[in-house]
A and B are shown apart, each in its own frame.
Chain A
């Protein structure tokens, strides 16, 4: 069996490998499937900081995914219609530039995560789960009943947004961009895990009193983790919207939040690459099973149930052996 670190590298490189093979075989659909997996992985990598390291079971991370999606949708639709967004006190031009859209998505998600976190982190355990879930529903119903950007029907963007130096409409180039973002975020997350902040956050999950006793505030640690986590998931939302060239309230749905958690647990909780492996596996299962049966979610549910009940280390835990001890 491979060591966990080796397994992670192999699993991580599987994505570009699949995309390259698909390119060689001229299968753009497979490339876009790999892109989808990478974006969903990114969303779950964001959640994993709060959930895996911080122990915060957020069942409302779709809020940030949706906000990222709508940041893209709103900015691009105003660019598309050449009508600036007039908020009364400020007029915002639309844009088709991905870097700007990403920045807006990250800032809006982070600010929202700060507000939700300030409230939700006053509570713990099952209250926290239910409150994050409820905030998700709040955004979901709001987007459904707010007609300006398509309401329930969502919003289509006809042309994918631009990134300097790339032709983003070429599937493999867009995949490359997404994969680069995922790789960069994974690198940062890996650093965060081993940083003083990461040590303190992980300790706050295991024993909050211990963290207080050394003079640190678990609340602030968790709040910062929640904000970073929301920002990353928001970035993923903007990419997801660009992949589909479409945003709808579904991005805010609580099933979406549930799926992010599933990715993390399928891959193996508390592991940096867990969400990546989990998201890839999910997209693969979705693709294979939905080809076999209309009722493929039954099989997915069964797999998930079995993983939760009997295989708590997830796929990485089952298929690799622990790394040699190191510090």
Chain B
């Protein structure tokens, strides 16, 4: 197996007596979609926060492309190639679609310290932003403010902004949530192709999408990974069935 691009080693995090993350290890290798699933309250959000840099783990390490980033903040990790999308859209609501994508290009160019040139007049940054918007199919809405976008369009824009960063790995938190059947199908196709550029750690509730897309699946229950394997292995795993029984039906 090739070296993982994202290697999570024995992460632990407690809040008082609650062990939100217990000794979690996960690896993301080039070319794969690795899905992280688990019932509500399993500790997925806490884990994502620790991977993205919003929350410091009590123990364990996060290795990004061979580099220990455990002590770095969100912005540093983004600069080192972690492209993240959010469960609840985190966008500049007053700005247009293009402006949000431009923010991504400014970040990718690592140069927000220019004060007098109009950002929209920077052909290189603009081309990059427009290309990302086009890839997710939002070019028609380029000049629409985010506040006027539909829920599904905002999801796509989240992905477009992550694309402008040209990240080494993607960390996607429920990209399908609220997309509807057609949107989910489109997103599924899109992510399926995207994995060739950079592997995706996919946190998702939509089991159809997960089982259609994932190369590997890890199941998180009560802060612990109880199983990791191919979709077939996970489907047949008794522990997983017990954890999900009555909760959701595995396809």
Chain A contacts to B: CB under 8 angstroms: 188, 191-192, 194-200, 202-203, 206-207, 209-217, 221, 224, 325, 327
Contact = CB atoms under 8 A, between A and B. Distances in A.
Contacts of B100: 203, 210
B75 A212 contact: yes
Contacts of A203: 92, 95, 100, 103
Q: Which 10 A-B pairs have the closest CB atoms?
A: A214-B107, A215-B78, A215-B79, A212-B74, A203-B92, A200-B112, A206-B92, A215-B107, A196-B119, A194-B118
A251 to B, nearest CB: 28
A188, A215, A325 pick with most chain B CB within 10 angstroms: A215
B104 interface: yes
Contacts of B74: 209, 212-213
Nearest to A214: B107
Interface residues of B, number: 45
Nearest to B145: A325
Nearest to A325: B143
Contacts of A214: 78, 103-104, 106-108, 161, 164-165
Contacts of A197: 112-115
Interface in B77-130: 78-79, 84, 86, 90-96, 98-100, 102-104, 106-108, 110-120, 122, 125
Given A194-B119, A195-B117, A216 B91 contact: no
Contacts of B54: 209
A200 B90 CA distance: 14
A196 B122 contact: yes
B119 A198 contact: yes
Would you call the interface of chain A mostly helix, strand, loop, or mixed?
A: helix
Contact of A210 (B53, B91, B102): B91
B53 to A, nearest CB: 8
5 contacts: A192-B115, A194-B118, A210-B91, A212-B53, A213-B161
Contact of A191 (B53, B76, B116, B165): B116
B233 interface: no
Contacts of A196: 106, 111-114, 117, 119, 122, 125
B93 A207 contact: yes
Contacts of B122: 196
Nearest to B164: A214
Contacts of B52: 213
A199 B90 contact: no
A216 B116 contact: no
Contacts of A215: 75-76, 78-79, 107-108, 110, 165
